[in-house]
Amino acid sequence: MTETVLSIRNISKSFGGIHAVRDVSFDVYKGEVLGLIGPNGSGKSTLFNCVLGQLKPDAGGVTVTGQDVAGKRACELSKLGVGRTFQQLSVFPEMSVLDNLILAGQEHRGSMFSRLFGPSDAGLTEEADRMISFFRLGHLRDELAGSLSYGQQKLVDAAMAFMANPALVLLDEPAGGVNLTMLGHLKERLKTYNREHETTFVVIEHNMEFVMSLCTRIVVLAEGAIIAEGTPEEIRANQTVIDAYLGS
């Protein structure tokens, strides 16, 4: 695990007088599942948005597989191999599950014009079916995504993030609002995918049980700065982290 996929270097971001992120640096390596946790207002989302190019940091830089992502649009980041999921449900409700997955992968197949003159599924039906089976959504393949339950839509959302075979996937609160059974299923699938494809994950999550059992390393933010970094066991035993969450 030495190949750096995501490198965050000295990122600082302020909003007026509030220092949302202060001089944060860390690397994420190929195949790693990194959890980014911290109490509310700790700067997780600001950092996430800096990585995704949605916010321009005041200082520092972010590279993905060695390429600077500053000023990149979301679609350009996707082409660089960055997949993501959203906190809120983010499927295409009036399209079938299959079409959701094909759309998730089609923009990575050939040029815009070759897609226009190529097959209507951009040659992705087989791959989409594999992904649907992987997330055990086969029985919902032709259903409208908007007609599925909240948890099922979360699974579709996750499956979409992998359709372009990304090097890095940013999962923004994947456990939010998902019932325990579904959560266990999602975690197991993410772990399997990570093991089989060596895809790097960065997970923002408030569900500690989910983070501790999914991630291989955890970075803890508080008041915009890193207060701890280590394995789930180390973080669990870290007094600074306990103080940050519970108050010293």
Partner 1 sequence: MKQLKILGLVAILAGLIIAPFTQATYGTYVLSSWLVFTVAAMGLNLTLGYAGQISLAQAAFMGIGAYSTALMTMAGLPWIASVVVGMGLCFVVGLILGYPALRVQNHFLAFVTLAFTTLAFLVMRNEEWLTGGIYGLVGVPRPSVAGLSLMDGTRYYFFTLGVFILASLSFWWLVNSPWGRAFKGLRENPIRANSLGVDTRLVTLLAFAIGAAYGGLSGALMAPLVQYIDPMSFTLIISLKILLMVVVGGSGYFFGPFLGAGLVIMLPEFLRFAEAYYLMIYAALVVFLMVVCPSGLLGLLSRGIAAIRSREPAERGDLKEGAQL
User: Which residues of this protein are in contact with partner 1, per CB under 8 A?
Assistant: 73-75, 77-79, 84, 86, 90-95, 99, 102-104, 106-109, 112, 115-116, 118, 120-122, 136-140, 143, 148-149, 151-152, 155, 160, 163-164, 181-182, 185
**CB of 137 within 8 A of CB of 152?**
yes
Least Å distance, CB 247 to partner 1, is 36
Contact (Cβ atoms closer than 8 angstroms) between residue 24 and residue 10: yes
State in angstroms the smallest separation of the CB of 125 from partner 1.
12
Q: Which residue has the tokens 């103080």?
A: 243
Residue 35 C-beta: closest distance to partner 1, Å: 21
Contacts of 88 (CB under 8 A, 6+ apart): none
Contact in structure between 102 and 108 (CB atoms under 8 Å): no
Cβ at position 24, least distance to partner 1 in Å: 23
CB closer to partner 1, 56 vs 136: 136
Least CB distance to partner 1 at residue 77 (A): 8
Measured from the CB atom, the residue of 22 and 109 that comes closer to partner 1 is 109
Residue 92 or 245: the one with the smaller Cβ distance to partner 1 is 92
Which of 37/52 has CB closer to partner 1?
Answer: 52
Closest distance between partner 1 and the C-beta of residue 204, in Å? 15
Radius of gyration of the chain (CA): 18
Q: CB 239 → partner 1: shortest distance, Å? A: 38
164 vs 221, beta carbon nearer partner 1: 164
Q: Which is nearer to partner 1, 73 or 197 (CB)?
A: 73
CB of 42 or CB of 78, closer to partner 1: 78
Q: Nearest to residue 60, comparing CAs of 219, 226, 202, 216?
A: 226
